[in-house]
Amino acid sequence: MASLHDDIERVLWTEEEISARISEIGTAVAADLEGSSAGVVFVGVATGAFLFLADLVRRVGRLPVEVDFVRVESYGSGTESNGAPRITCDVKVDVRGKHVLLVEDIVDSGNTLSCLISHLEAKGASSVSVCTFLDKPARRKVHFKLVGDGKFYRGFECPNYFVVGYGMDFAELYRNLPYVGILKPELYQ
């Protein structure tokens, strides 16, 4: 059987580096949420954030948090966002009056996040923070505004390549790679 490793041009972050960085973010998130009087909901953006969310929630394991997912579609199987995200599966948890932490795999144009932030604000969240595993600031088209005293956390700044692994896919594959790597461009060009 073919190995996924052969499709990776270069590893950007190893499993060990990812784990160490998530411990740091978890500590920062926990410190900010500590003593919060309102409820806290971690909302993962499916599917890409599933591993990051799973690792992050365990770093704040002593805090009472609800966990849910939303599903947004804007990508298809290509490598470029089409700029018009649609929420295809909404949260089940009631976010009214609560602090929401949106957990994303990667922020690229910012379209997905800005759509989700407005959506959660409209549902009555008292604050919306964002915790993204990767951030590609060079590609930003939309500047999203956090809600209330929401904060922005990010794992790593990502160079302008199409990356896969640690939850992130190309055509639904590569999510199970334990590291993040640059996909060989000949595979999608």
- Asked if 115 contacts 87 with a C-beta cutoff of 8 angstroms, the reply is yes
Q: Which of 91, 97, 87 lies closest to 69, judged by CA?
A: 91
**And the tokens for 24?**
């740091």
**By CB under 6 A, residue 163 contacts ligand 5GP:** yes
**By CB under 5 A, residue 135 contacts Mg ion:** no
99-118 residues in contact with Mg ion (CB under 5 A) are 105
- Asked if 87 contacts 114 with a C-beta cutoff of 8 angstroms, the reply is no
Distance of CA 10 to the CA centre of its chain: 22
Region from 11-19, 70-78, 124-132, 138-146 binding Mg ion, contact rule CB under 5 A: 70-78
Q: Among 13, 60, 69, 108, which residue sits at the site for ligand 5GP (rule: CB under 6 A)?
A: 108
Region from 9-17, 27-35, 55-63, 104-112 binding ligand 5GP, contact rule CB under 6 A: 104-112
**Residue 108 is a catalytic residue:** yes
Cβ proximity to ligand 5GP, 109 vs 126, nearer residue: 109
| Strand ranges for 32-179 from DSSP E | 40-46, 65-73, 86-89, 99-107, 127-135, 152-157, 163-164
Q: CA-CA distances (angstroms) from residue 13 to 1, 130, 148, 158, 189? A: 25, 21, 33, 10, 24
Cβ proximity to ligand 5GP, 12 vs 125, nearer residue: 12
Give kind and range of the element (H or E) at residue 181.
strand 180-183
Cβ proximity to Mg ion, 39 vs 140, nearer residue: 140
Among candidate residues 7, 105, 108, 169, the one labeled active-site is 108
Region from 27-35, 40-48, 138-146, 149-157 binding Mg ion, contact rule CB under 5 A: 40-48
**By CB under 5 A, residue 45 contacts Mg ion:** yes
Name the residues that contact Mg ion, by CB under 5 A: 45, 48, 75, 105, 169
- Residues with a known catalytic role: 108
